[in-house]
Amino acid sequence: MKPRIEKLLDFTFSRRQDALRRDADWSPLLALFVAEGVDDGTRARIGLVEMLRAEGETPAFLDGERLAFTRTVRQIPELHTAAEMDARRAGGTAFGEKGVVFNITADFAPTIRDGLDARLGELRDRLARCRAEGDSEGAAFCENAALSVEAVLELAEKYRAAAASRGLHDVADVLARVPRFGARTFREALQSLRILHFALWCEGEYHCGLGRIDQYLLPYYEADIAAGRLDDDGALELLEEFFVACNRDSDLYIGVQQGDNGQSVMLGGLTRDGAPAFNALSRLCLKACGELKLVDPKINLRVDKNTPVEIYRLGTELTAKGLGFPQYANDDVVIPALERWGYEPEDARDYTVAACWEFIVPGCGLDIDNIDAVSFPGALDAALRLCADGAAEAGGYDAVEAAFLAEVQRRADALVEKYRHVEVLPGPFVSVLSAGCIQRARDICKGAKYNNFGIHGTGISVAVDSLASVRELVFEKALVSLPELVRLLDTDFAGRPDVLAAAKAAPKMGNADGRVDSIAKRVIEFWGHAFDGKRNDRGGRFRPGTGSAMYYVWHAREIPASADGRLSGHPFPANWAPSLDVPVKGPVSVVRSFTEPDLGAVCNGGPLTIEIHDSAFAMPDGVDKVAELVRFFVLRGGHQLQINAIDRETLLDAQAHPENHRHLIVRVWGWSGYFIELDKPFQDQIIKRVELAV
């Protein structure tokens, strides 16, 4: 790593950029919006314009920086009051989270190539057409979008002028070119991307993915290499500076936990034409992350059955550094799944992830991939109580499983009804970076090419293990009746330690045990078809998945103990993973269990999450073994995989002495974060995950 990058890295990690920041009071602006009844699109435009003007008051440059733009204003404007949003919800409108465009990946490539001036020209031409056609809605969009673009260009010009006045002429020269005009070099492309991404956060979009940077930045890298303007060392230095910059403002980005900011990139896979896409820039991205050891950007790596083992090894070397990534996505499963959900083949081959692991197509997807979740243990708890009040025991275990699946279906149907009418608040600038919006003269909030909703399946392994336990304890061994078992769940098995011990000893997913894995196959098959034929009011589908997001803590608080021996208050596993504290034979048995079901129908995202003791990577062949494990997962038909290299004793010490573990990174649910910055419930859940050896 070059000394210049080390200096920028130290500055950023030490949070010295905080000295450059100031607070802003946007309450007068919000009061004005309410008093004058300003429409949503105009609010979004004014909010961005005012935010960028405030940012332009004091452009910040770091010593040795070649890629500019650092946040100096901590708060972005609030555009709606809580009362306004509550009134809309009361009127039957549903929103995803804050209601804004979020958790998407824009299509940065065309604007990096053409420049914002080209987009501005298109908007002005389209505005004239809208006015001629009497399309007032289209005219309003074009006006707001054009003014938003002008605000971004105004800020870039202020940065250029400030750089020139400080003698930073090379920085000023780059800013004179981008983002107004198309990038010609790798540095210009990275600077343009930095500005465009910066502006999305300032507009209020959050969890803005960076997408397939090794594809859309590749032409600039190759051109520089061919012309002799850059060698790989120089390209790596620029890339590392860009990656450091991704961490500079991330503490200002919203998320359930610090680090949950959606700054994900996707590497490798296939091109839109179906050719192998892993390239020299993909390698540089992996190398940059390995040298920097930062949580951002989160690396995702697309692989398939033909991926060379060497690429798995490159990914595993990052895992060995304790970064919690790359996260792997299996093209052999994901691409056909997206095609079955109606994505065109070229788009399906171009998929990336949104924030964590939800699959999305850059620029043309307004999929709300994490709109809600079904608690599988919650559904089973309700089904057991229903069965205990009836004559389920006469129907045997099959009646219990049928009742459980019926409850899952009921909850799925309830979510379809809950999100029958969903609105998204406008984002004029993100619309400029989204395919077709200018041509349609409509904000992306009105819909994109794909408008699907993703539904997580929380705690699936807990429910499956609990079903196996009910079958064994109640119907095979007659150790306890179903009504008595339900009563024991409400008391954490008080007075019946024998039942608790038997519940813990019952078959569990992760051991390649057909007695429980066969249940998982039926449950996943059912879940994959729970939304068949259902559509939202945007014409989109509901995509079921095996992810949990933050619900693995939240949903666990809603139910008492479960029949697998989990006690009340104990969290579920994150995503598609063995239940916490379950003894498993090893990583191979875990992979076998969790690839036994057909995962193609539950491809909203939701990785198998495995914890491997970090000592495994100290072995001479440790990296090779884990790389082969990843390949085994892919060949077995797994859809998504993430591996954490952890040491429980280190995590416990970090809880007790956080000052000694500032750099400790862990994989949380679909993202990596610094362990000491997590709330204790999330820390505790990670500590309780199963450590495996290879």
Give me the CATH number covering residue 574.
Answer: 3.20.70.20
In this structure, the answer to whether residues 254 and 373 fall within a common structural domain is: no
Mean pLDDT, all residues of the chain? 93
Total structural domains within the chain: 2
* 561 within domain boundaries: yes
Look at residues 296, 538, 530, 551 and name the one whose alpha carbon lies nearest to residue 410: 530
Place of tokens 């990052």: 318
Final residue before a domain boundary, out of 260, 279, 298: 260
Q: Using one digit for the tens of pLDDT, what is the confidence trace for 139-153? A: 999 999 999 999 999
- Following DSSP, what letter does each residue of 638-683 receive, concatenated? --EEEEEEE-HHHHHHHHH-GGG-TT-EEE-SSSEEEGGGS-HHHH
What's this model's pTM, rounded to 2 decimal places? Answer: 0.94
Q: Is the pLDDT of residue 132 over 90?
A: yes
Instruction: Please state, as a whole number, how many other Cβ atoms lie within 10 Å of the Cβ of residue 109.
Output: 20
Q: Residue 527 domain-assigned?
A: yes
Question: In angstroms, rounded to a whole number, what is the distance separating the alpha carbons of residues 460 and 520?
Answer: 8
Among 235, 260, 285, the domain-final residue is 260
Consecutive H or E run containing 171: helix 169-177
What confidence score (pLDDT) does residue 691 get? Answer: 56
Residue 394 has pLDDT above 80, yes or no: no
Q: What is the mean pLDDT of residues 1-5?
A: 95
- How many CA within 13 A on the CB side of residue 504? 13
Q: Is residue 412 domain-resident?
A: yes
Mean pLDDT calculated for residue range 669-682: 78
CA dihedral sign of residues 652, 657, 660, 663:
positive
In a domain, 331, yes or no: no
Amino acid letter, residue 253: Y
Domain residue limits at 656: 368-692
Provide the percentage of residues in the chain whose pLDDT is more than 70: 98
User: Is residue 476 assigned to a domain?
Assistant: yes
pLDDT-derived band at 561, boundaries 50, 70, 90: very high
In-domain check, residue 341: no
Question: What is residue 442's predicted lDDT score, i.e. its pLDDT?
Answer: 98
Q: What is the pLDDT of residue 441?
A: 98
Whether the predicted pLDDT of 693 surpasses 60: no
The mean pLDDT of 576-604, rounded to a whole number, is: 93
Residue finishing a domain among 197, 232, 260:
260
Q: What is the pLDDT of residues 337-382, one digit of tens each?
A: 999 999 999 999 999 998 888 999 999 999 999 999 999 999 999 9
Q: Does residue 352 lie in a domain region?
A: no
Of 144, 156, 130, 113, the closest CA to residue 44 belongs to 144
Pair 607, 457: CB distance under 8 Å: no
DSSP string, 498-512: HHHHHHHHS--TTS-
What percent of the chain is modeled with pLDDT above 90? 80
- The predicted-structure confidence for 28-67, as pLDDT tens digits, reads as follows 999 999 999 999 999 999 999 999 999 999 999 999 999 9
Residue 608 lies in a domain: yes
The answer on 252 and 375 residing in a single domain is no
